Amino acid sequence: MRTLVHPERDQLQLTTILAALSDPIRLRLIRELALAGEMPCGEFASPVAKSTMSHHVRTLREAGVLRVRLQGTQRRLSLRSEDLDARFPGLLSAVLQADASVEDSARSIEPEPREGEEGGMA
């Protein structure tokens, strides 16, 4: 089974995490995860293509913001809240609390066609 690399807690870098969070789709994803707990990658309610979503998930995983757990063919995502709070207390909650602005950013995202869901590629 393929294993996915996750940085250890003491390897987490503030600049990398801030860069990973500086995107409206990724902010929306972490807000959904904060509400839902662990969630299959495919259930994320976002108007982005599957490949775009994979890129965002990888960016967040490599920064240490989320954990990806492989269960069969499913990739289950969860926030690494404990690790983040231990290393950068208050950072994640401050970002999650910035509700209004994140909502504003998310509303400005143009929907993209979803790959492989309508029986064809765009």
Q: Which residues bind its own copies (CB under 8 A)?
A: 12-16, 18-19, 21-24, 27, 87-91, 93-95, 97-98, 101-102, 104-105
User: Nearest distance from residue 105's CB to its own copies, in Å?
Assistant: 6
Pick the closer one to its own copies by CB: 8 or 118.
8
Pick the closer one to its own copies by CB: 9 or 69.
9
List residues bridging with 76 in a β-sheet.
40, 69
Residue whose structure tokens are 């996915």: 4
- Return the closest-CA partner of residue 77 out of 111, 26, 116: 26
Pick the closer one to its own copies by CB: 74 or 93.
93
User: Nearest distance from residue 22's CB to its own copies, in Å?
Assistant: 4
Structure tokens at 115: 């790959």
User: Nearest distance from residue 78's CB to its own copies, in Å?
Assistant: 21
Structure tokens at 81: 């809240």
23 Cβ partners below 8 Å, 6+ apart?
Answer: 56, 59
